[in-house]
Homo-oligomer: A and B are copies of this chain.
């Protein structure tokens, strides 16, 4: 049994070749991962929402999973997003990710048609049953249209042995307290809503899943170290410096804002894949300024 995952889980974007968003840029993917690990993040999570996994075809998904896990090379745990619009597809991704050496998996229910709780339950159970590594159930109603309540999530974790973590991006900090209560503190939950990171740690979150680590990895790590050290003043100050940046990146889809921000610091991860459009010039300038301010 490996160590539990805690702390900063860094989410790389999936970089595309400049002017060609049909081709993954493997070199820049490696660069992003290295940069986050060098700064001290605790885990790397490729192929999440930030990784535009919903916009990749299966071949691309396999390629990005392969390259990410190779490049992380066990320096930290790798948590691979395996969400797919069909259960069969998510199961296949889960098996491939496990075989490639993923430490853990993450999935959120994505479906064109809304799903019943029973459909979500059967979906997650099938994914988990296909592998032995731990699976993180991810709730993000703003992108998936499906909202899993704390009650549902705790029942799911109780019923399926290797669903062992929850990621909450609903934006309701009360959900975390409810997860703690319902699980009697036994269920590790991660915050996925960037502007709530400080509150989430206060509410007992085991970690912070964040694409901000692409942009300001040292700052994100420093903040978390202050939290761990119990230095509330330092954590609060550190977080306050990042907060405008965190608000801005979630004002649009994370691939759009993070790729824009990366360009401002000299890393060309290309544009997001259409229909997603690059950030406009004014917002890009504001974002660049906030990143620069954070690094001061």
Residues of A participating in the B interface, judged by any CB pair closer than 8 Å: 20, 22-23, 49, 54-55, 57-59, 62-63, 66-67, 69-70, 85-88, 92, 95-96, 98-101, 109-116, 118-120, 122-123, 126, 142-145, 252-256, 273-277
A63 and B92 in contact (CB under 8 A), knowing A55-B112, A114-B253, A274-B122?
A: yes
- Total copies of this chain within the assembly: 4
On whether the beta carbons of A275 and B111 are closer than 8 Å, the reply is yes
On whether the beta carbons of A123 and B274 are closer than 8 Å, the reply is yes
How far is A223 from B57 in the complex, measured between Cα atoms in Å?
Answer: 43
How far is A79 from B150 in the complex, measured between Cα atoms in Å?
Answer: 42
* Partner pick for A112 among B66, B100, B110, B256, CB 8 A cutoff: B110
Closest to A59 in B: B58
- Known contacts A88-B274, A100-B100; can you find 13 more A-B pairs with CB under 8 A? A20-B20, A22-B23, A22-B88, A54-B113, A57-B58, A66-B99, A70-B98, A87-B274, A87-B275, A96-B100, A101-B101, A111-B276, A115-B275
Closest to A145 in B: B145
Closest to A100 in B: B99
Which B residues lie within 8 Å of A118 (CB)?
277
Which B residues lie within 8 Å of A92 (CB)?
59, 63
Which B residues lie within 8 Å of A95 (CB)?
63, 66-67, 70
Q: List 12 A-B contacts (CB under 8 A).
A: A55-B85, A55-B112, A59-B59, A63-B95, A87-B273, A100-B100, A111-B275, A112-B144, A114-B142, A118-B277, A119-B274, A119-B275
